[in-house]
Structure 1
Amino acid sequence: MTTGVRRRMGVEERRQQLIGVALELFSRRSPDEVSIDEIASAAGISRPLVYHYFPGKLSLYEAALKRASEDLAGRFVEPHEGPLGARLLRVMRRFFDFVDEHGPGFAALMRGGPAVGSSTTNALIDSVRQAAYVQILSHLDVAEPPARLELVVRSWISLAESTALLWLDGRGIPRAELESQLVHDFGALAAVSAAYDEETAAVVRRMLRDEPADGPFGDLVARLIALAS
Structure 2
Amino acid sequence: MTTGVRRRMGVEERREQLIGVALELFSGRSPDDVSIDEIASAAGISRPLVYHYFPGKVSLYEAALKRAADDLADRFTEPREGPLGLRLLRVMRRFFDFVDAHGPGFSALMRGGPAVGSTTTNALVDSVRQVAYDQLLSHLGVQDPPARLDLVVRSWISLAESTALLWLDGRRVPRAELEVQLVHDFAALLAVAAAQDEELTALLRGVFTAEPADGPFADLLGRLLRLAS
Displacement after TM superposition at 1:110 (Å) = 2.2
The code of the aligned residue for 1:94 comes to R
- 2:172 corresponds in structure 1 to 172
Question: TM-score under structure 2 normalisation?
Answer: 0.96
- 1:200 corresponds in structure 2 to 200
Question: TM-score under structure 1 normalisation?
Answer: 0.96
Runs of at least 4 residues off by over 2 Å: 108-112
Where structure 2 has 5 or more consecutive residues not aligned to the other structure, the ranges are none
List per-residue Cα deviations over 1:138-171 (Å, max 9, x = no partner).
Answer: 0000000100001000000000000001100010
RMSD, aligned CA: 1.0
| Counterpart-to-counterpart distance in 1, 2:67 and 2:190 | 32
1:26-65 to 2 correspondences below 5 Å: 26-65=26-65
- 1:131 corresponds in structure 2 to 131
The code of the aligned residue for 1:115 comes to A
| Percentage identity across paired residues of the two chains | 81
Where structure 1 has 5 or more consecutive residues not aligned to the other structure, the ranges are none
SS of 1:78's equivalent? Answer: coil
The code of the aligned residue for 1:8 comes to R
Q: Which moved more, 1:24-33 or 1:5-14?
A: 5-14
SS of 2:187's equivalent? Answer: helix
The code of the aligned residue for 1:26 comes to F
The code of the aligned residue for 1:138 comes to S
Displacement after TM superposition at 1:199 (Å) = 1.4
| Counterpart-to-counterpart distance in 2, 1:131 and 1:43 | 32
- 2:186 corresponds in structure 1 to 186
| Counterpart-to-counterpart distance in 2, 1:48 and 1:39 | 11
1:55-204 to 2 correspondences below 5 Å: 55-204=55-204
Q: Would you say how many aligned residue pairs link Structure 1 and Structure 2? A: 225
| Counterpart-to-counterpart distance in 2, 1:131 and 1:112 | 19
The code of the aligned residue for 1:72 comes to L
